[in-house]
Chains A and B, each alone.
Chain A
Amino acid sequence: GENVEQHPSTLSVQEGDSAVIKCTYSDSASNYFPWYKQELGKRPQLIIDIRSNVGEKKDQRIAVTLNKTAKHFSLHITETQPEDSAVYFCAARNTGTASKLTFGTGTRLQVTL
C-alpha cells in the first residue's frame, strides 16, 4: 500500500519568513495530493491540493509543487504569520475504487514574532 513520509516533524520560523514542508510517497499510481492544516483541537481542513498532471499550484501565500519522477511534493508558505502556526499534514491518494487518503505524520509549524 501507499506510504507517505513527511519532514520535518517540527518547524519554527520567524514571522515573515518562508516555511517549506516536504513529503515523499511510494505508490507511483497516486495522483492526488492534498495538504491539510489542523489547529489545536480542531478538525483538519484542506488548504491546497494538487493533481498529478500539474507541477505547481499557488493560492496567495501558499504553493505546492509536485515532482512525479521523484515521487515527492512540497508545501511552501511565504510571508508566514502567527496564524499559520498549526500542524500540517500531507496526503496521497490513488484514485482507484477505494481512494483512501494516506497521511504523512504531520509537521508542527510554529511562527514566532
Chain B
Amino acid sequence: DSGVTQTPKHLITATGQRVTLRCSPRSGDLSVYWYQQSLDQGLQFLIQYYNGEERAKGNILERFSAQQFPDLHSELNLSSLELGDSALYFCASSVVSASYNEQFFGPGTRLTVL
C-alpha cells in the first residue's frame, strides 16, 4: 500500500457524460500528478499540482480539468466523455515538486465509457 488512495476503483458511464475522479495523496506529500494509461499503453502524464497550484501540464485534453484543494486532495474532472477516454487513471504523489523524491502511485481508477 503506497498511502495514496483513489476513488472510485471502477467507473462505468456513457458517452457524453461527466465524471470526477478523486485522489488523496500520502500524508505530507504536497505534489499530486495525474496519469492516463490506456490498454497496453504507457503512462501519459496529464497534469501536476503542487500545494494547490497547477505546476505542469502534459497531454491533457481541454475536456479534462483538475484541481487540488486546501487539504491537498485532488480531483480530475472528465467531461463530454468519448469511448477513447476509457483507461486506467492513476494519481501519484511526492513530497515536494523538485528534487529526487519518489512518486508514489495510487491503485488507479478504471474508467469504462460505453
Contacts and interface: CB of A to CB of B under 8 A. Distances in A.
Interface of A: 32, 34, 36, 42-46, 49, 51, 89, 95-106
Contacts of A96: 98
B54 to A, nearest CB: 10
Nearest to A108: B40
A44 B58 contact: no
Given A98-B55, A98-B97, A100-B56, A46 B102 contact: yes
Contact of B100 (A32, A103, A104): A32
Interface string B73-102: 000000000000000001000000111101
B98 A95 contact: yes
B99 A43 contact: no
B114 interface: no
9 contacts: A44-B105, A95-B100, A98-B55, A99-B98, A100-B45, A100-B48, A101-B33, A103-B43, A103-B44
A36 B99 CA distance: 18
A102 B45 contact: yes
Interface residues of B, number: 24
A44 B45 contact: no
A44 B99 contact: no
Contacts of B104: 46
B13 interface: no
B108 to A, nearest CB: 6
Contacts of B97: 97-99
A89 B99 CA distance: 20
Contacts of B25: none
A98 B106 contact: no
B2 interface: yes
B67 interface: no
Contacts of A101: 33, 45, 103
A99 B45 CA distance: 12
A100 B92 CA distance: 11
B28 interface: no
